[in-house]
């Protein structure tokens, strides 16, 4: 049969078959003449006939659709709760058939198998787990039709489906986290990867999740109203403010001394340098309580050096903001020093040499070449140091338990009222720290001059 005549004959045939079917159903008493379902069927048939006639659809899809319509007509009449749902199902199923035919024609067999398999599994899930959730099922089917052309999209689609069917009532959380993981996995797949590193990644992530679980559970489980109440409390706000201010002061002091020191260490080579670097790690090795005691022993008001400073400047360290800063500086120092050192070491010395031959003094070469190029790493190190300073508990507890910083406040509250009542405060502090940390990171990303740096020259 020539193609052109087929285009005319088949639509006419469809319409004729439709009319005949209706007549038969009508005569049999299964269908009333102007029922909604009947009108829907007629509309669908008209659309298909038109499509076939215009040549934008073809024989297999037309045939499938006809069968589908016939089947649905019968099912709708006998099973479906109401004709509206039945009509919607029909429409979506026509979409599915259309997409299926297109996938079969244009994409690989694997795509088609994935599509058909997905449909069957969805249908199975619908039958077994989604009673009276036709609307959701139809939504899923539309999603399937939209995503089936691409395996990546299909995977995301299934992550949603499984989250919303198997993981209730944590559907949104599951969707969010599975999207994160899938995105990571897909970007790994698109980059250079090898089995060893992927296995190591999965293993490492497992431990990381296990460790971070308490924090996540605590934050997810807390009622936001409690957090708001906490933030309104004067004492909590004082503690948070004190923590932020002391950590910032400590970081500024650290940056003023340790960044130039890191530059010096990266450019100089001298005997005893490795010893100095090892000593710089001391605050990491020493238990914080011991560090606190040591600070108290030297800088306490009754002690020798602390006494001299108190007499000369009227500054006392024990039980004061200065003491808090001192303890924070002590514990945060290795982070900013080592981070900045790595940053400066990544800046080629030759660039400073070039700057010198162009007329820059060594100070100017530091300011205009080494520091801007290392700035990204230096700022990252400073943020880390800030976070370390803000979170310091042990050393601060010994040197200056009052005024209360946030970590001390948690400890004191826990001692007086116990675990359950402390949880909102802990959540508040966690959220506060996280917010500050993220804010600093974003600030650095947005700051001009820091992001402009590209990799090595051509």
Residues that bind other proteins (CB under 8 A): 348, 350-351, 353-362, 364, 368-369, 372-373, 449, 452-458
Pick from 90, 117, 9: which is nearest to 53 by CA?
Answer: 9
- Minimal distance, residue 452 CB to other proteins, in Å: 6
The dihedral formed by the CA atoms of 376, 379, 383 and 384, expressed in degrees to the nearest 10: 70
- Of 139 and 360, the one with the shorter C-beta distance to other proteins is 360
Least separation in angstroms between residue 455's CB and other proteins is 6
Question: What secondary structure letter does DSSP report for 451?
Answer: S
**Residue 307 DSSP code:** H
Q: How far is the CB of 445 from other proteins (least distance, A)?
A: 16
Q: How far is the CB of 458 from other proteins (least distance, A)?
A: 5
Instruction: Count the helix, strand and coil residues of the chain and give each as a percent rounded to the nearest 5.
Output: 80, 0, 20
Establish whether the linkage from the previous residue to 207 is cis, with ω within 30° of 0: no
Cα 192 versus chain centre, distance = 22
Alpha-carbon distance of 42 to 23, in angstroms, equals 13
The residue (of 190 and 454) whose beta carbon lies closer to other proteins is 454
Residue linked to tokens 């003094």: 361
Tokens 């599994």 correspond to 121
Nearer to other proteins, 347 or 429 (CB): 347
Please say which residue, 242 or 369, places its beta carbon nearer to other proteins: 369
Cβ closer to other proteins: 109 or 452?
A: 452
Closest separation in Å from C-beta 97 to other proteins:
51
Q: How far is the CB of 273 from other proteins (least distance, A)?
A: 17
**Contact between 61 and 101 (Cβ < 8 Å):** yes
Residue 411 Cβ vs other proteins, minimum distance, rounded to whole Å: 45
Q: By the 8 A CB rule, do 53 and 7 touch?
A: yes
Of 102 and 356, CB closest to other proteins: 356
Exposed/middle/buried for 248, CB within 10 Å: 0-12, 13-18, 19+? middle
Residue with tokens 């010198």: 356
CB of 350 to other proteins, least distance (A): 5
Phi first, then psi, for residue 123 (nearest 5°) are -65, -40
Q: Which is nearer to other proteins, 360 or 423 (CB)?
A: 360
Total residues found in the chain within this entry: 458
Residue 22 or 356 with smaller CB distance to other proteins = 356
Using alpha carbons, select from 137, 53, 59 the residue that is nearest to residue 97.
59
Q: Closer CB to other proteins, residue 316 or residue 356?
A: 356
Closest CA to 341 of 294, 434, 273, 245: 273
Q: How large is the C-alpha radius of gyration of the chain?
A: 35
């Amino acid at each position: 049969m020539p193609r052109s005549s087929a285009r005319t004959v088949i639509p006419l045939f469809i319409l004729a078959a439709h009319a005949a079917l209706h007549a038969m159903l009508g005569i049999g008493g299964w269908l009333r003449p102007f029922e909604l379902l009947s009108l829907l069927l007629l509309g669908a048939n008209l659309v298909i006939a038109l499509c076939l006639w215009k040549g934008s659809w073809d024989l297999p899809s037309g045939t499938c659709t006809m069968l589908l319509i016939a089947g649905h007509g019968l099912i709708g009449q006998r099973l479906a709760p109401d004709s509206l749902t039945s009509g919607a199902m029909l429409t979506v199923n026509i979409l599915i058939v259309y997409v299926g035919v297109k996938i079969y024609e244009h994409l690989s067999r694997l795509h088609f198998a994935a599509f058909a398999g997905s449909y069957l599994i969805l249908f199975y899930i619908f039958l077994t787990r989604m009673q009276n959730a036709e609307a959701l099922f139809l939504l899923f089917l539309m999603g399937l039709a939209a995503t089936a052309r691409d395996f990546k999209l299909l995977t995301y689609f299934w992550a949603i489906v499984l989250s919303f069917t198997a993981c209730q009532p944590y559907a949104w959380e599951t969707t969010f986290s599975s999207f994160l993981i899938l995105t990571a996995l897909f970007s790994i797949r698109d980059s250079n990867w090898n089995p060893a590193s992927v296995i190591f990644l999965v293993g490492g992530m497992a431990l990381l999740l296990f460790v971070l679980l308490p924090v996540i559970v605590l934050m997810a489980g807390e009622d936001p109203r409690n957090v708001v109440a906490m933030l309104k409390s004067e004492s909590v706000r004082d503690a948070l403010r004190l923590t932020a201010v002391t950590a910032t002061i400590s970081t500024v002091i650290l940056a003023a001394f340790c960044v130039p020191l890191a530059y010096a260490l990266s450019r100089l080579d001298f005997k005893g340098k490795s010893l100095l670097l090892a000593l710089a790690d001391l605050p990491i090795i020493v238990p914080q309580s011991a560090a606190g005691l040591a600070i108290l022993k030297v800088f306490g008001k009754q002690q020798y050096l602390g006494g001299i400073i108190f007499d000369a400047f009227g500054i006392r360290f024990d039980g004061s903001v200065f003491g808090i800063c001192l303890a924070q500086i002590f514990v945060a120092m290795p982070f900013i020093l080592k981070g900045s050192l790595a940053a400066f070491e990544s800046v080629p010395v030759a660039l400073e040499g070039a700057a010198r031959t162009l007329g820059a003094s060594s100070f100017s070469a530091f300011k205009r070449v080494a520091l801007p190029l290392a700035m990204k790493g230096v700022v990252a190190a400073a943020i880390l140091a800030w976070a370390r300073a803000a979170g310091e508990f042990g050393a601060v507890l010994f040197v200056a338990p009052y005024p209360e910083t946030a970590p001390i406040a948690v400890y004191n509250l826990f001692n007086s009222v116990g675990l359950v009542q402390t949880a909102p405060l802990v959540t508040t502090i966690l959220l506060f720290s996280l917010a500050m940390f993220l804010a600093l990171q974003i600030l650095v990303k947005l700051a001009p001059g820091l992001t402009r740096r590209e990799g090595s020259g051509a």
